[in-house]
Amino acid sequence: MRSDGDSPRISIVTGVAGGIGAAAADALLARGDIVYGGDLRPTDRIPAGVHYRALDVTDETSWAALVSAVVSEHGRVDALVNAAGIIRHTGIEALPVAEWHAVTDVNQRGTWLGMRAVAPGMRLQGSGTIVNVSSGWGLTVGTANVAYQMSKGAIISLTRAAAMELAPDRIRVNVLLPGWTDSPMTQAQPADTNAAIVAAVPLGRGAVPGDHAAAVRYLTSDESAYVTGAALVVDGGAIVV
């Protein structure tokens, strides 16, 4: 991993069009990174200064084009933040097969394809850091969100496997587990559902995307140089691990 005194880190953040992805990109820009942001479509929530690229995280060709463009312009990728994700509130029996695939393709497959795309270059340079965004629901239980919960649990296992595989090449892989967060995803949920979840948080409030951006900044910095395979829960104490 590059030290803070060297040339700027070259970072890629997915899901940059809002929520945790946008906040993470903002935090990395503030640190001095050169940030490439991938998402299906641009919005006004993308931080100024991000080099936006259209990205379908479920498509390996789309990933190859993004990573190739970044390497062509800067010669390397130092950090990847897999923040893209979707949710569907559907239980086991009511869940259509197409909806299952939509959730797992973005959350689970998209995370794997991102790591797969940047790993060869990081191996060659002998450094790199990857942060995968899971969810507190990857560790605990929710209701009527089986595909989301399964996919987020899979990201935790995927991160730990990747961390061990890539450690000999000095590539660190960690997973962030956010609790309830005020974001476009939760704003689309019923207000009473959100209120009940937030009321149960021991710290007395829900998270804002910046709470998670601070964790991403730490996990992609030299301050976490000896941290890999870790699952960092940022949820105000809602989950007792």
**Main-chain phi, psi angles of 87, to 5 degrees:** -135, 145
Q: How far apart are CA 190 and CA 207, in angstroms?
A: 17
> What fold characterizes domain 10-230?
Rossmann fold (3.40.50)
**CA distances from residue 155 to 111, 112, 113, 161 in whole angstroms, order as listed:** 7, 8, 12, 10
Placement of tokens 């995927």 in the chain = 158
Collapsed DSSP state (helix, strand, coil) of residue 190 = coil
pTM of the predicted model as reported, rounded to 2 decimal places: 0.93
The letter for the amino acid at 10 is: I
Given a cut of 70, whether residue 231 has pLDDT beyond it is yes
pLDDT tens-digit readout, 52-85: 999 999 999 999 999 999 999 999 999 999 999 9
The letter for the amino acid at 139 is: L
**CA distances from residue 29 to 2, 41, 189, 190, 205 in whole angstroms, order as listed:** 16, 20, 30, 33, 27
Tally Cβ neighbours within 10 Å of residue 188.
10
Tell me the longest C-alpha to C-alpha distance in the chain.
54
Collapsed DSSP state (helix, strand, coil) of residue 23 = helix
Catalytic residue (choose from 36, 52, 148, 218): 148
pLDDT of the residue at 1 = 46
pLDDT tens-digit readout, 147-170: 999 999 999 999 999 999 999 999
Q: What percent of the chain has pLDDT over 90?
A: 74
Contacts of 158 (CB under 8 A, 6+ apart): 108, 111, 112, 115, 132
Is pLDDT larger for residue 63 or for residue 141? 63
**Does the active-site annotation cover 148?**
yes
**CA distances from residue 188 to 72, 98, 145 in whole angstroms, order as listed:** 38, 21, 14
pLDDT of the residue at 2 = 55
pLDDT tens-digit readout, 174-191: 999 998 888 877 777 778
pLDDT of the residue at 89 = 84
From 13-22, 183-192, 210-219, the region with the lowest mean pLDDT: 183-192
Beta-strand pair 128-133/34-39 = unpaired
Q: What CA dihedral angle connects 80, 31, 212 and 123, to 10 degrees?
A: 20
